[in-house]
Amino acid sequence: MRHLFAAALLVAASPIAHAQSELPEPLRLAIAANDKLPGFTFDIERTSTDTGEDGETRTGYARVDMSAPEFKQITPAHLVDPDQPGSAFSALAGIEGALEDGIWCSSLISTPPEADDVEVIAEDADTITYQFKPGIAEDADGPEKKILKKSLATLVVSRENPAILSFEQHLTKTVTVYVVAKIRSVDLSATCARGPDGNTYIQETSSAFEASGFGDGGGNRSNMKVTAIYDAETGTQLAAN
């Protein structure tokens, strides 16, 4: 989890510390939205490509039930590709990592940003777009702290029934970690859709990073999306993307 590159990819889910009460109400309510809702299962597809000379692409599929007991929430579904030996386990691990904090969009920010860092950069009749500098979790390791200090996040929130509609976070400057390694870019994004109960879930998320060290360079690009939603009890399909 705290591996150098894993930290770069998971910064979107890092805790951002301050009191919720100081935030504008639509943002505060969107971040506080219920993320423990039972009753739905999701079909997930994830593709991950290593960049560089020996780049490999892995595709995996899984069914996710966030109401199930811990460690039983994610089950593989037709993951094995005969042309990609071993990719099934790697792809499933990627899905588990991406959904560690849940599938609901409120989980994209586990605690609010510093109120003084929040700026409204756009708004219309339906949405407000906020931009802010991420805070740093108390348990963040060195590389993660350096990445977060040089990152900028953007969040689009609905005015009616406040919820997160999209999220982006980017590294603004190259970061040197572990003396010889450099993180040159980190780009994270997520688009959200309203589920059958009105709460927003992570419909699609993408991440990309580029790094270099010991004279070599490489990185990873991944995309994960929800392809269908089902009633957990009856198995009835409620939506398809």
Q: What backbone torsions phi and psi does residue 214 show, to the nearest 5 degrees?
A: 55, 35
pLDDT at site 91: 63
Whether 134 and 14 have beta carbons less than 8 Å apart is answered as yes
Residue 237 included in any domain:
no
pLDDT at site 215: 63
Residue with token string 């108390």? 138
Residue 49 included in any domain:
yes
In the chain, the largest separation of any two C-alpha atoms, in whole Å, equals: 55
Residue 238 included in any domain:
no
pLDDT at site 11: 40
Residue 235 included in any domain:
no
pLDDT at site 128: 97
Considering only CA atoms, which of 130, 127, 132 is closest in space to residue 113?
Answer: 132
Q: Which domain holds residue 75?
A: 4-229
Tokens of 156: 């689009």
pLDDT at site 120: 96
Residue 44 included in any domain:
yes
Task: Kindly report the pTM of this predicted structure.
Answer: 0.79
Q: Which residues of the chain have pLDDT under 70?
A: 1-21, 34-38, 52-54, 66, 70-71, 77-93, 110-111, 214-215
pLDDT at site 119: 94
Q: Average pLDDT of the chain?
A: 79
Number of independent structural domains in the chain: 1
- Type and span of the H or E element at 97: helix 87-98
Residue 236 included in any domain:
no
pLDDT at site 15: 39
Residue 135 included in any domain:
yes
pLDDT at site 87: 56
Residue 234 included in any domain:
no
pLDDT at site 9: 44
